[in-house]
Amino acid sequence: MDNPIENTGFVFSKESLRKKFRWSEFFSEKIITGVAFLSITIIVLIFFFVFRETLPIFHQKKETKKIESVQKQEQYNGEETSVAKNSAGQEQYGVITKDTLMMENQVPGEDTIVRGSDEATVKSLLGKEWLPVSDRPRYGLVPLLVGTLKITLLAILFAAPIAILAALFSAAFAPHWMREIIKPAIELLAGFPSVVIGFFALMVMASFFQNIFGYDTRLNAFVGGVAMALAAIPIIYTITEDALTAVPRSYTEASLALGASRWQTALFVTLPAATPGIFAAILLGIGRVFGETMIALMATGNAAMISVNPFESVRTLAATIGAEMAEVVFGDTHYSVLFLIGSLLFIFTFCLNALAEFYVKGRLVKRFQGK
């Protein structure tokens, strides 16, 4: 039979069925696997390089002599709480002079001025003053930490209830067409650049809230917290909504069959069943706010002070890096301290993520699958 298909060049035989080594197959698999490792590599590299830049804080032997002379002049001890207050009441952005903004001015290897000794630096880290560019630099992280926690707390207090209730609405009560609007709209909010939210907070919300509450400091933790809540809401909403819709139908049907109304089912069955997911949502929301830089830079006032008043300015850890990294000299103490702050931020968000991942997801699986 004259069959052109039989001329395809492939003949079946013992020989043709023998295992063949295919280079393209081999390389594609190796390359793909290799590239897939990249994500892990990046995480490891981030750990390594961010930590590496903090190390000079803990051993600065070369400069010991210089430092001694500086120390003699200073004879610094005790706390000067008044200094911190100097910066209160005015809007600060960290970067002040124009030439420090132009980054061409920072040349690595330029004459390094050592402003503080290693020991003093390490000690001052636990202090209450963040004055990195004064004659006697002090790198007290406490005000930054307090500021960050304050902002985070405020933002989550605003964001969590609203986002969770909204998620409950779209998962349990909203008619289909409404859900089709709410979900994409909140997804779009997630896509708003934080600099836009920061700008909105700085130019619009700050004055708006000042008119309502009549406080003195226009930019403060409250404004920052509300703005940050806008950034955290989409995260909390999305994950909560997922958790709520993942609750097995049988749960809600059982409840409805027992005569409970829809809202009772949503509140007493669906919501509790989804708590691990909601917990994860809040954790990730906290992570988002904790590390948020641009909103903090623009809307919080950036004064490093310790206060519980939500209408005072605060300076967060992330904003401090953002504001000051551009004006430091590569490799000096201030630079290393900023990297130390970065390390803290990284470890904190890493732990939050790990917690949300292993603990919460594990519980969710257990709950629904009864393992």
What is the closest distance, in whole angstroms, from the C-beta atom of residue 358 to other proteins in the complex? 9
Nearest to 222 by CA among 304, 301, 142: 301
Which pair of tokens denotes residue 206? 């700050």
What is the closest distance, in whole angstroms, from the C-beta atom of residue 202 to other proteins in the complex? 6
What is the closest distance, in whole angstroms, from the C-beta atom of residue 211 to other proteins in the complex? 15
- Residues within window 223-282 making contact with other proteins, judged by CB under 8 A: 230, 233, 237, 261-264, 267
Query: x/- contact string, 38-67, with other proteins (CB under 8 A)?
Result: xxx-xx-xx--xx-xx--------------
- Residues within window 70-129 making contact with other proteins, judged by CB under 8 A: 93, 95-96, 98, 101-104, 106-108
Q: Considering beta carbons, is residue 193 or 248 the nearer one to other proteins? A: 193
Q: Is residue 28 near other proteins by the rule CB under 8 A?
A: yes
| Beta bridge pairs of residue 116 | none
Q: Considering beta carbons, is residue 282 or 325 the nearer one to other proteins? A: 325
CA distance 222 to 228: 10
- Residues within window 283-322 making contact with other proteins, judged by CB under 8 A: 284, 287-288, 290-294, 297-298, 318, 321-322
Which pair of tokens denotes residue 190? 């997630």
Distance in Å from the first CA to the final CA of the chain:
63
What is the closest distance, in whole angstroms, from the C-beta atom of residue 153 to other proteins in the complex? 17
- Residues within window 122-161 making contact with other proteins, judged by CB under 8 A: 161
Which pair of tokens denotes residue 325? 């990294």
What is the closest distance, in whole angstroms, from the C-beta atom of residue 328 to other proteins in the complex? 9
Q: How many residues bind other proteins (CB under 8 A)?
A: 115
- Residues within window 162-201 making contact with other proteins, judged by CB under 8 A: 162-163, 165-166, 168-170, 172-174, 181-182, 184-189, 191-200
Contacts of 79 (CB under 8 A, 6+ apart): 127, 128, 129
Q: Considering beta carbons, is residue 53 or 332 the nearer one to other proteins? A: 53
CA distance 13 to 289: 66
Kindly indicate which of the ranges 31-39, 78-86, 136-144, 146-154 contains the residues binding other proteins, using the contact rule CB under 8 A.
31-39
148 near 290, Cβ under 8 Å? yes
What is the closest distance, in whole angstroms, from the C-beta atom of residue 237 to other proteins in the complex? 7
| Beta bridge pairs of residue 139 | 130
What is the closest distance, in whole angstroms, from the C-beta atom of residue 158 to other proteins in the complex? 10
Which pair of tokens denotes residue 353? 């993520």
CA distance 117 to 211: 46
- Residues within window 326-355 making contact with other proteins, judged by CB under 8 A: 326, 330, 338-339, 342, 345-346, 349-350, 352-354
Give just the sign of the alpha carbon dihedral 140, 341, 314, 203. positive
Q: Considering beta carbons, is residue 240 or 307 the nearer one to other proteins? A: 240
CA distance 349 to 284: 8
Q: Considering beta carbons, is residue 120 or 202 the nearer one to other proteins? A: 202
Q: What does the buried/exposed string (b/e) look like for 274-308 if buried means 16 or more CB atoms within 10 Å of the residue's CB?
A: bebbbbbbbbbbbbbbbbbbbbbbbbbbbbbbbbe
360 near 277, Cβ under 8 Å? yes
What is the closest distance, in whole angstroms, from the C-beta atom of residue 71 to other proteins in the complex? 29
